[in-house]
Amino acid sequence: MVREINVGLVGLGTIGSGVVEILQTNSKLIEKRTGVKINLVAVCDKFTERAKQLKVNDICVSDYKLLLKNKKINVIVELIGGYEPARTIIMDAIKAKKHVVTANKAVLAKHGYEIFSSAQKNKVNVLFEASVGGCIPIIRTIEESFSSDNINCIYGILNGTTNFILTRMNEGMSYEVALKKAQELGFAERDPTFDVEGKDAAQKMFLLASLAFDAKFASEPFTCGITNLTKKDMDYAKELGYSIKLLAIAKKENGEVELRIQPSMVPKSSLFYGVNNEVNAVLLSGKQTGEIFLSGKGAGKLPTATVVVTDIIELASRTRVAQRFFQNAKIKPLSNTISKYYFRVGLLDQPGGLAAVAKIFAEEKISISGCEQKEISGEIVPVVFITHKATQGQMDAAVKKCNALACVKDKVVIIRIEDLK
Amino acid sequence: MVREINVGLVGLGTIGSGVVEILQTNSKLIEKRTGVKINLVAVCDKFTERAKQLKVNDICVSDYKLLLKNKKINVIVELIGGYEPARTIIMDAIKAKKHVVTANKAVLAKHGYEIFSSAQKNKVNVLFEASVGGCIPIIRTIEESFSSDNINCIYGILNGTTNFILTRMNEGMSYEVALKKAQELGFAERDPTFDVEGKDAAQKMFLLASLAFDAKFASEPFTCGITNLTKKDMDYAKELGYSIKLLAIAKKENGEVELRIQPSMVPKSSLFYGVNNEVNAVLLSGKQTGEIFLSGKGAGKLPTATVVVTDIIELASRTRVAQRFFQNAKIKPLSNTISKYYFRVGLLDQPGGLAAVAKIFAEEKISISGCEQKEISGEIVPVVFITHKATQGQMDAAVKKCNALACVKDKVVIIRIEDLK
């Protein structure tokens, strides 16, 4: 009862070569365990010499269209990344009635609705487990384990680069040194903008939220990265029993979806607190299921390639075509989103400062759950407040008023505190 | 492109009625999302009035054989639990060429090899995600996500009852009071033996290890429950930065499998440290994938029923029949298994006691990484040692010798310390 699946692989970079390696090493094991025989029929890369280095004995071409014309091939594995030509390759593969496996979150975040719709029309499947959360089986958990449930919210640490940097900063490194360390170890790109500004995490959460809520969003999530975080706030967080993580959050409430990526403080009691280094993690909460927490390596050659191979096996095992449906969904304005807040301000060491700030909180109806002013000798005294729940709108108004006070010398820093279990 | 699956459900207890409830509420959603239409064709329970209470309009019988004779039905969902008649029902269903979904870890731990082999012969699938770890997608993670990888080890908190009791004990309750609390809240049975003695966790890990290592074990895992744990040791653990959990462990090394269920200390840095109350958790480590950590509710009506429904949808979506193969595997003798240890002994407050214990450690070649003797006034002084890695055999020998010393008044307690990330 062996089922065969014939693969055309596009892109022999890090992940692509990992896939080739796994198929070369573990094909017999896969066949024995699953009854699926994976044949790597042809590979495609601009640099055809890569195939030679990998000892791929199969057809190697530099034009992906040749793979589409090959009638034997029933699945195209796209591993080149980025928007184009990835989008065109995927769309052409679908039109050629070939299933698609991809690890490309960028193309799916930008063109996913179009790609999924075309796949459904052409009765092929697009699998993309490797595109979010590395080796964490998050897509299949949403699409399969929760298919009879309603997901209320998703929290995620979805970017390994920033989590690595924050872990180092939590140990005392400055942002700059931590970033350099991440670059040296290959956890950060030479131009780290996409990661450190939260855009990578935003694309991933956009995709997860679309699937979890059957939602079609017309706009992008609010995204704030980690570049403005200071050691001072990391230290305060630690002292208060929190750790700062770049959290991606999606919550569905009253028809609206809260969708945002922000550095957030997570309490010691949360499993996210212990998610360090390049590890990713996701918490899903469903109406029936309650909470599921998943974590694992967010990137890396073999972890990611293993997931790609799992998707290929899955394609060989299933008959049904995914029936994704997406309904227009509105993203909640950031100003209406609610959480607790950390609020730090540097005041001139003279009478009246604290009273002036407290008055502003009262005006904006923000309730304070804690306040700390250390005995520090110096002209500027840092004061830290922890608020009860308030909207980002209330907080922004308070920040604006505070920064205008004459006694404020170090401008206000606010960081959201997420009440996670 | 709607696929229909016709279900015969056996057992209308807690989970069974949860499944009926979900199908009654979410059938349209499931169909829209997955293209799968689940028809509950007939139910079977000794108490046919249960079906009436659930407003099941379908055929309701008290003899499961009628479901097997019904040609329309293509999947039997077994939710009665226990060994018999569950085993007979499952085997008969398979012989009648019907797929099976079950939440029954007991029958699979005891008769799994026979059941899986018969299913393969009869070309039907047996799905059982709900049998281990409640809503955690652990079976599919092992069987699908890791199908092209080699799993090195599995660590699990697989029993919600004991984890709930340990959480309360960690907060200061005695074992007896914590057990009573668990019983009041429905987390523990009136006769809690099966849970608190670790047998439930043992069955679950036996099943996971069989699947993960393609292994057929001829004997059962070494199993030690939580009934002998004292508040004293819980407090010491806490002070030392550990938490005591009932850990189920399976490791493959040099062809042998370490398979054991023991109360173990886990460090603060491990995600297991924060797994509290009735929550379950599993850590899988694969050669390519690295570590994946999954956690979620280990039991409960709707969490478990949701997973059963997921398995039904899965059956409607796949064509291939699982090709499980199991090779004879030897369980490593407990005495050869290695870890660090916590070692507490109560000594008479007189010279020479510590020296005598230290001498025994030296004789057994056990290296000490830490020792603490508090200034306690009283006749008996508790002394705590933390060892470097040693075998259980070395430790057992040391314990025996120590307990024979005249200066030992409180007998030795040892607890394994697991080095988890």
Rounded average pLDDT over A301-326 = 91
State whether B32 and A147 contact (CB < 8 Å): no
- Residue A78 CA to residue A332 CA, distance in Å, equals 34
pLDDT above 70: residue B57: no
Options B105, B204, B340, B401, the catalytic residue: B204
Backbone angles phi, psi at B14, to 5 degrees: -60, -55
State whether B320 and A295 contact (CB < 8 Å): no
The pairing of beta strand B327-331 with beta strand B368-373: unpaired
- Residue B178 CA to residue B216 CA, distance in Å, equals 37
- Residue A54 CA to residue A51 CA, distance in Å, equals 5
- For helices A160-170 and A231-239, what crossing angle results, to 10°? 70
- The verdict on A157 and A277 lying in the same domain is yes
User: If pLDDT is split at 50, 70 and 90, which confidence band does B177 have?
Assistant: very high
Q: Is A342 within 8 Å of A370 (Cβ atoms)?
A: no
Residues of B in contact with A310 (CB under 8 A): 144-145, 147-148
State whether A320 and B316 contact (CB < 8 Å): yes
| Residue B161 lies in domain | 138-297
Q: Is B121 exposed, middle or buried, given 0-12, 13-18 or 19+ CB atoms closer than 10 A?
A: exposed
DSSP per-residue string spanning A383-405 = EEEEE-SEEHHHHHHHHHHHHTS
Record the tokens describing residue B164, joined without a space.
């709930």
Q: What is the mean pLDDT of chain B?
A: 94
Residues of A in contact with B313 (CB under 8 A): 144, 147-148
C-alpha B257, offset from chain centre: 17
In a domain, B377, yes or no: yes
Residues of A in contact with B318 (CB under 8 A): 317-319
Rounded average pLDDT over B234-252 = 96
pLDDT above 90: residue A233: yes
B48 touching chain A per CB within 8 A: no
Please report, for the domain that includes residue A11, its CATH number. Answer: 3.40.50.720
- Nearest-Å Rg of the Cα atoms of chain A is 24
Rounded average pLDDT over B21-31 = 94
Name residue B416's beta-bridge partners: B264, B341
Out of B107, B131, B155, a domain closes at B131
Looking from the CA of B388 toward its CB, the CA atoms found within 13 Å total 8
pLDDT above 70: residue B1: no
Q: Is B93 within 8 Å of B78 (Cβ atoms)?
A: yes
Q: Is B36 within 8 Å of B2 (Cβ atoms)?
A: yes
pLDDT digits (tens, 9 = 90+) for A352-374: 999 999 999 999 999 999 998 87
The pairing of beta strand A242-253 with beta strand A151-157: antiparallel
Amino acid at B64: Y
Q: Is A27 exposed, middle or buried, given 0-12, 13-18 or 19+ CB atoms closer than 10 A?
A: middle
In a domain, B29, yes or no: yes
Please report, for the domain that includes residue B179, its CATH number. Answer: 3.30.360.10
Nearest to A272 by CA among A297, A247, A255, A252: A247
Rounded average pLDDT over A157-184 = 95
Rounded average pLDDT over A103-112 = 96
Out of A84, A106, A131, a domain closes at A131
- The verdict on B147 and B123 lying in the same domain is no
Whether residue B85 has a cis bond before it, omega within 30° of 0: yes
pLDDT digits (tens, 9 = 90+) for A14-30: 999 999 999 999 999 99
In a domain, B310, yes or no: no
CA distances from B233 to A38, B221, B363 (A): 53, 25, 26
pLDDT above 60: residue B71: yes
Element (H, E) at A248: strand A242-253
Q: What is the mean pLDDT of chain A?
A: 94
pLDDT at A379: 86
CA distances from A406 to A347, A360, A383, A411 (A): 9, 14, 15, 11
- Residue A396 CA to residue B12 CA, distance in Å, equals 54
Q: Measured between CA atoms, how close is B364 to chain A, in angstroms?
A: 36
In a domain, B319, yes or no: no
Record the tokens describing residue B61, joined without a space.
């019988």
In a domain, B306, yes or no: no
State whether A294 and B297 contact (CB < 8 Å): no
Residues of B in contact with A320 (CB under 8 A): 1, 3, 34-36, 316-317
- The verdict on B251 and B272 lying in the same domain is yes
Range from A188-202, A327-341, A348-362, A369-383 carrying the lowest mean pLDDT: A369-383
What percent of chain A clears pLDDT 90, i.e. is strictly above it?
Answer: 87
pLDDT at B59: 79
State whether A286 and B294 contact (CB < 8 Å): no
- The verdict on A165 and A290 lying in the same domain is yes
Residues with Cβ within 8 Å of residue A38, at least 6 apart in sequence: A4, A5, A7, A23, A27, A30, A309, A312, A313, A316
pLDDT digits (tens, 9 = 90+) for B196-212: 999 999 999 999 999 99
Out of A131, A155, A170, a domain closes at A131
Record the tokens describing residue B274, joined without a space.
């924060």
- The verdict on A150 and A293 lying in the same domain is yes
State whether A271 and B320 contact (CB < 8 Å): no
Q: Measured between CA atoms, how close is A209 to chain B, in angstroms?
A: 15
pLDDT above 90: residue B125: yes
Based on the structure, what is the number of domains in chain A? 3
User: If pLDDT is split at 50, 70 and 90, which confidence band does B3 have?
Assistant: confident
- Residue B200 CA to residue B299 CA, distance in Å, equals 12
pLDDT above 80: residue A153: yes
* Cα–Cα–Cα angle for B178, B181, B184, rounded to 5 degrees: 155
- The verdict on B265 and B349 lying in the same domain is no
A137 touching chain B per CB within 8 A: yes
CA distances from A379 to A345, A347, A357 (A): 13, 8, 17
Record the tokens describing residue A249, joined without a space.
């959050």
In a domain, B42, yes or no: yes
- The verdict on A345 and A227 lying in the same domain is no
In a domain, B7, yes or no: yes
- Residue A70 CA to residue B284 CA, distance in Å, equals 39
The DSSP letter of residue B158 is -
A121 touching chain B per CB within 8 A: no
Record the tokens describing residue A107, joined without a space.
């193309």
- Residue A181 CA to residue A188 CA, distance in Å, equals 9
Q: Is B279 within 8 Å of B133 (Cβ atoms)?
A: no
Range from B50-64, B103-117, B221-235 carrying the lowest mean pLDDT: B50-64
Q: What is the number of other CB atoms lying within 10 angstroms of the CB of residue A292?
A: 25
Rounded average pLDDT over B346-372 = 94
CA distances from A415 to A265, A344, A374, A400, B59 (A): 7, 9, 19, 15, 58
pLDDT above 70: residue A421: no
- Nearest-Å Rg of the Cα atoms of chain B is 24
In a domain, A261, yes or no: yes
Q: Is A128 within 8 Å of A292 (Cβ atoms)?
A: no
What does pTM read for this prediction?
0.95
- Residue B136 CA to residue A273 CA, distance in Å, equals 20
Element (H, E) at B356: helix B353-363
Does residue B69 carry a catalytic annotation?
no
pLDDT digits (tens, 9 = 90+) for B129-140: 999 999 999 999
pLDDT above 70: residue A253: yes
C-alpha A329, offset from chain centre: 20
- Residue A102 CA to residue A108 CA, distance in Å, equals 9
User: If pLDDT is split at 50, 70 and 90, which confidence band does A60 have?
Assistant: confident
C-alpha B343, offset from chain centre: 26
User: If pLDDT is split at 50, 70 and 90, which confidence band does B421 have?
Assistant: low
B290 touching chain A per CB within 8 A: yes
Residues of B in contact with A313 (CB under 8 A): 144, 147-148
Looking from the CA of B249 toward its CB, the CA atoms found within 13 Å total 26
pLDDT at A58: 66
- How many residues are there in chain B? 421
pLDDT at A1: 56
- The verdict on B265 and B386 lying in the same domain is no
- The verdict on A103 and A147 lying in the same domain is no
Is pLDDT larger for residue B57 or for residue A237? A237
- How many residues are there in chain A? 421
Q: Is B262 exposed, middle or buried, given 0-12, 13-18 or 19+ CB atoms closer than 10 A?
A: buried
- The verdict on A118 and A160 lying in the same domain is no
What percent of chain B clears pLDDT 90, i.e. is strictly above it?
Answer: 87
Interface confidence (ipTM) of the complex? 0.94
- The verdict on A52 and A150 lying in the same domain is no
Q: Is A97 within 8 Å of A73 (Cβ atoms)?
A: no
- The verdict on A151 and A269 lying in the same domain is yes
- Strands (DSSP E) found in A30-161: 36-44, 59-61, 75-78, 99-102, 126-127, 151-157
Name residue B265's beta-bridge partners: B244, B417
Q: Measured between CA atoms, how close is B83 to chain A, in angstroms?
A: 27
Residues 51-70 of A with CB under 8 A from B: none
Record the tokens describing residue B310, joined without a space.
């997921």
Q: Is A144 within 8 Å of A151 (Cβ atoms)?
A: no
Residues with Cβ within 8 Å of residue B380, at least 6 apart in sequence: B346, B347, B348, B349, B409, B410
Record the tokens describing residue A82, joined without a space.
């980025």
State whether B296 and A296 contact (CB < 8 Å): no
Rounded average pLDDT over A132-145 = 95
Residues 212-271 of B with CB under 8 A from A: 214, 269-271
pLDDT above 90: residue B255: no
Question: For an interface test with B, which of A23, A37, A138, A147 has the most B Cβ atoms less than 10 Å from its Cβ?
Answer: A147
Backbone angles phi, psi at A356, to 5 degrees: -65, -45
Please report, for the domain that includes residue A363, its CATH number. Answer: 3.30.70.260
Q: Measured between CA atoms, how close is A52 to chain B, in angstroms?
A: 23
Q: Is A336 exposed, middle or buried, given 0-12, 13-18 or 19+ CB atoms closer than 10 A?
A: exposed
- Residue A182 CA to residue A191 CA, distance in Å, equals 12
